[in-house]
Amino acid sequence: MDWHMVWNDTKDQLDLLDQRFLPTREDWYACTDTDSTIFALQVMVIRGAPAIGVTAAYGCYLAAKEAAPAGDNWKQKLDELLIKLEDARPTAVNLRWGVRRMRAAWDEQLELDNAGLRAMWLELAKEIHEEDKRFCRKLGEIGGTVINDGDTVMTHCNAGALATSDYGTALGVIRGAWDAGKKKINVIANETRPFLQGARLTSWELMKDGIPVKVACDNACALLMKKGLVDKVVVGADRIAANGDAANKIGTMGVAILAKHFGVPFYVAAPLSTIDRETPTGDDIPIEDRTPREVTHVGETQIVPDGVEVYNLAFDPTPNELIAGIITEEGILEPPYAESIPAAFARSGK
């Protein structure tokens, strides 16, 4: 499903399937400059850590194009735009990773003029885009081995193709098992309030693939596990700390606690780019506090009385002791994560 994020060479823009309107409408949104890219990131036209990283890479190219008219001051203008882009969202580390990777390439060729930098950056952004596709496929193939034929897998939020360049992380694991011939698996997609990524996006992806899926109310997790209806839990992540604590969509920590109580293995699936070795623990991960309207309204329908305050913390960090394994393109990392994470980076050469 890599068609949801397409670089348009003809129009020199990034075309994104607007996820705000799925599953009932398939509208497209164009990122043409820094502000439109930041808007897409902040209102969740595009979301999911790996997809955010790829969008950031293309956003750097668009920023360079935007800075070109500044003449001799284009480098200063570009630096200001990159800072603005990197600060667009706080939790998903792939945003920072994408911008810093582009900056690092620039640092190695500071002699380039604006046109030369743009050419180099566009090629690199396309490379990062293709790299993410490869990593997700590899991650899915590796992770599919933890799923048995006949398993029912619960997932929370959307960590599918829509959250990456293609195939997905958590859904990549499920697709990896399915593509390996395990055609008896079933999926429970938690609805994932308040933005309903599970209900709207995960079920839409899996339905298109023909993989059996049921949507469950978030509050049903405990009962479903108690009844023995969940064999594995696989989720994605927006940032994984150096100790293996993993921040994912709000509610994930609760699912992990329930999985531990009921003896259900809980896995996190994410590329190495989502692991932030500069962040010691989950408590150090900044948690995005989003607009109250996502909680007070469903679409255009208001469900909370005027004047009532709400919490809309978008993520929570799952402690590493609740995680059976972190599935990456470099293999399945196991506890103690303080040892397995550095070893994975060493294998990758990163």
Residues catalogued as catalytic: 238
Is there a binding annotation on residue 343? Answer: no
DSSP state of 313: B
Is 114 labelled as part of a ligand binding site?
no
Cα–Cα distances in angstroms (integers) from residue 300 to residues 45, 195, 221, 257, 290, in the given order: 17, 13, 28, 33, 17
Residues in Cβ contact with 261 at an 8 Å cutoff, skipping those fewer than 6 apart = 225
- Give the Cα separation of 61 and 67 in Å (integer): 10
Query: Is 73 annotated for ligand binding?
Result: no
What is the distance between the alpha carbons of residues 145 and 209, in angstroms, rounded to a whole number? 19
The closest alpha carbon to 162, from 38, 52, 81, belongs to: 52
Distance between CA atoms of 288 and 314, rounded to whole angstroms?
Answer: 6
Residue 313: strand pairing partners: 289
Query: Is residue 47 part of an annotated ligand binding site?
Result: yes
Query: Is 49 labelled as part of a ligand binding site?
Result: yes
Grouping H, G, I as helix, E, B as strand and the rest as coil, residue 234 is: strand
Q: Do the annotations mark residue 186 as ligand-binding?
A: no
Show the tokens assigned to 66. Answer: 């935007």
**Adjacency order of strands within the sheet including 13-17:** 5-8, 13-17, 28-31
20 is in an annotated binding site: no
Q: Is the Cβ–Cβ distance between 6 and 51 less than 8 Å?
A: no
> Angle 74-86/34-42 helices, nearest 10 degrees?
10
Token code pair at residue 272: 């190495």
Q: Which tokens belong to 154?
A: 């619960």
Q: How many C-beta atoms lie closer than 10 Å to residue 67's C-beta?
A: 23
Binding-site annotation: residue ranges: 47-49, 89, 197, 248-249
Binding-site annotation: residue ranges for substrate: 47-49, 89, 197, 248-249
